A = this chain, B = another copy of it.
Amino acid sequence: MLRHADIWSAIDKVARDHNFTLSGLAKRAGLDPSAFNRSKRIGPDGRLRFPSLESLARIFDTTGTNPLDFLAQAGVVPSAGGIGARKKLPSLSISDAQLRDAFDNAGKPTGAAWDELAFPDLFDDDAYALIVNGDSLEPLYRDGNVLIVSPHAPARRGDRVILRSIVGRLVAREFVRRLPRHVEVLPLVGDNTIETMDAGGVAFVHRIVWASQ
């Protein structure tokens, strides 16, 4: 769980990230310049040397490194339900959730039928949120609803997407397909006829992945 080599290489990384040499980092932390020498990490008898908690604390305080992030860098992975773990929710289809014993008397999911679903499972570092204004997208989206947009999620037929024109206009549509010269979409509300947009006029097509209610 805490592996000698990983602890030391995490220290190496802290030094690098802050543009210190090892002796520079030690000095900055108020320790002796030889404190983190690579040559002193394994003793002459082969015994592994670990830095003390006090030395580590000095590193964290000096560099502003969070001990949690340090441990993650040292290869420690979150435990299910623990800090940094992906949130998991009980999950079941509506039809199966109508079975007699899907909920207990307090209204909580119960029984073996429920699966686990990671929420929100959003891995796109470039995701952003758009807040709906007005009522033009009702009943689908109402004023104030938050749309979570994932630029890197591929847009496939039927997906709801945000399109931005090259002059900056944003519209929400249902993606149909992309052709060499056009992008075909359907409106989300109202008239259900295909709309053809000039591919050159579309700056991007980003997929909507979640909508607040």
Given A89-B129, A210-B210, 19 more pairs with CB closer than 8 A: A1-B67, A2-B53, A50-B52, A50-B53, A50-B54, A50-B57, A66-B76, A67-B71, A68-B79, A69-B82, A71-B83, A89-B127, A92-B131, A103-B164, A103-B203, A107-B204, A108-B126, A117-B129, A210-B212
Q: Nearest Cβ in chain B — how far from A86, in angstroms? A: 11
Q: How far is the CA of A127 from the CA of B120 in the complex (A)?
A: 12
Query: How far, in whole Å, are A107 and B166 apart by their CA atoms in the complex?
Result: 10
User: Are A131 and B212 in contact, CB atoms less than 8 angstroms apart?
Assistant: no
A residues contacting B by CB (< 8 A) are: 1-2, 7, 50-54, 56-57, 60-61, 66-69, 71-72, 76, 78-79, 82-84, 87, 89-95, 97-100, 102-103, 107-109, 114, 117, 119-120, 122, 126-133, 139-140, 142, 146, 148, 151, 158-160, 164, 168-170, 172, 188-189, 203-204, 206-213
Within the oligomer, what is the number of copies of this chain?
Answer: 2
Task: Indicate if the CB atoms of B213 and A160 lie closer than 8 Å.
Answer: yes
Nearest-neighbor residue (CB-CB) of A95 within chain B: B133
Which B residues are in CB contact (< 8 Å) with A66? 1, 76, 78-79, 82-83
Q: Min CB distance, A148 to chain B, in Å?
A: 6
From the candidates B83, B92, B206, B212, name the one contacting A78 in the complex (CB within 8 A).
B83
Given known pairs A128-B109, A130-B94, the reply for A60 and B169 (CB within 8 Å) is no
Q: A170 vs B76: C-alpha distance in the bound complex, in angstroms? A: 42
Q: Are B108 and A151 in contact (CB under 8 A)?
A: yes
Question: For residue A189, which residues in chain B have a CB less than 8 angstroms away from its CB?
Answer: 139
| Docked-complex contact A79 and B89, CB < 8 angstroms | no
Q: Min CB distance, A63 to chain B, in Å?
A: 10
User: Which residues of B have CB within 8 Å of A207?
Assistant: 213
